[in-house]
């Protein structure tokens, strides 16, 4: 379950980056790498992220363990919506590819409703529900992530720089590349070594695929800053890589998507209450 929590945290962290900002504001920082440019990017994201109400996209999640020469690729869909003081997040995985083997159907769902994280495993027909907030409390998926990792767009720039060495790397294809190296005295030093994230400044659905980014965006237009990919390296040298494809921002999402339905033939859910 620990890898599951880390994966959900990484996803929420990347969505947190997906605030709105202007290409004109980022054009200058994309061509520079000094401290002021880093602060400009982080500050603008934090100012604009509260406009995010919903997010949906195709997702590719690659978990690699170089020491064991093992890698697992999962693909599926991600849905996020904000409501009041809470939010809902759902990830539906449909396929799995182990190492160099063939892709296979592998259905698995993770649903966070602001209080409970539900895991539905269709292979073994089991459901696990883990409580992550008090009974009278609703927490946003971003807040859940912040308990384990600082979220760009929500964490204060000065606080972020206390924990990481943050570098901004300009790229010619319309991407902003942020590199975050964990400092020796960081509170995250026991979990992560480094994080890298690529943010797309271009307009248009489906334009955020890293391998397909070839055009240079107009610097005078205002558009969305969308996450393309996140790579996090753990202290065990495990690598979590998440790619986002064909994102849709602030478009209506059917509430039924976030409903938890236990299929016929499954056992009773395993309930894991909140640790006191």
For residue 245, the model assigns a pLDDT of 87
Residue 264 lies in a domain: no
pLDDT at 4: 53
CATH number of the domain encompassing residue 119 = 2.50.20.10
E strand or H helix that includes residue 55: strand 54-65
Residues of the chain with pLDDT under 70: 1-36, 38-51, 85, 142-159, 170-174, 201-227, 276
Number of structural domains the chain divides into: 1
Residue 219: its pLDDT value, please? 30
3-state secondary structure of 220: coil
Report the helix count and the strand count for the chain, using DSSP H and E.
5, 14
Q: Are strands 126-131 and 270-272 parallel, antiparallel or unpaired?
A: parallel
Q: Is residue 245 part of a domain?
A: yes
CA 231 – CA 159 distance, rounded (Å): 21
Encode pLDDT of 42-52 as tens digits.
665 555 556 67
Predicted TM-score (pTM) of the model is 0.74
- The predicted-structure confidence for 204-246, as pLDDT tens digits, reads as follows 443 333 333 333 333 333 445 566 788 889 899 999 898 888 8
Can you tell me the distance from the alpha carbon of 32 to that of 29, in angstroms, rounded to the nearest whole number? 5
- Is residue 276 a part of any domain in this protein? no
Tell me if 87 is assigned to some domain.
Answer: yes
In a domain, 167, yes or no: yes
The pLDDT of residue 222 is 41
In a domain, 269, yes or no: no
Domain that holds residue 30: 2-258
**pLDDT score for 213:** 34
Residue 265 lies in a domain: no
Residue 270 lies in a domain: no
């Amino acid at each position: 379950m620990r890898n599951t929590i880390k994966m959900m945290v990484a996803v929420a962290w990347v969505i947190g980056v997906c605030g709105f900002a202007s290409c004109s504001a980022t054009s200058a920082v994309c061509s520079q790498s000094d401290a002021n440019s880093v602060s400009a990017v982080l500050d603008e994201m934090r100012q604009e992220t509260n406009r995010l109400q919903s997010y949906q996209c195709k997702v590719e999640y690659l978990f690699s363990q170089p020491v064991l020469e093992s890698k697992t690729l999962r693909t599926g869909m991600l849905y996020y919506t904000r409501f009041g003081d809470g939010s809902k997040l759902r990830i539906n995985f449909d396929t799995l590819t182990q190492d160099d083997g063939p892709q296979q159907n592998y259905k698995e769902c993770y649903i966070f409703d602001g209080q409970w994280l539900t895991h539905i495993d269709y292979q073994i027909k089991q459901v696990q529900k883990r409580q992550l907030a008090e009974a009278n409390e609703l927490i946003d998926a971003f807040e859940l992530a912040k308990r384990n990792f600082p979220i760009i767009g929500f964490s204060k720039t000065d606080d972020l720089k206390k924990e990481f060495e943050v570098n901004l790397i300009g790229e010619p294809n319309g991407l902003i590349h942020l590199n975050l190296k964990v400092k020796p005295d960081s509170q995250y030093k026991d979990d992560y070594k480094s994080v890298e994230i690529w943010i797309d400044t271009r307009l248009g659905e489906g334009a955020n695929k890293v391998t397909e980014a070839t055009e240079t965006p107009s610097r005078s237009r205002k558009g969305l800053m969308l996450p393309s990919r996140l790579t996090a390296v753990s202290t065990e040298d495990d690598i979590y890589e998440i790619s986002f494809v064909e994102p849709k921002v602030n478009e209506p999402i059917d509430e039924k998507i976030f409903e938890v339905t236990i299929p016929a033939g499954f056992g009773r859910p395993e309930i894991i209450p909140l640790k006191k």
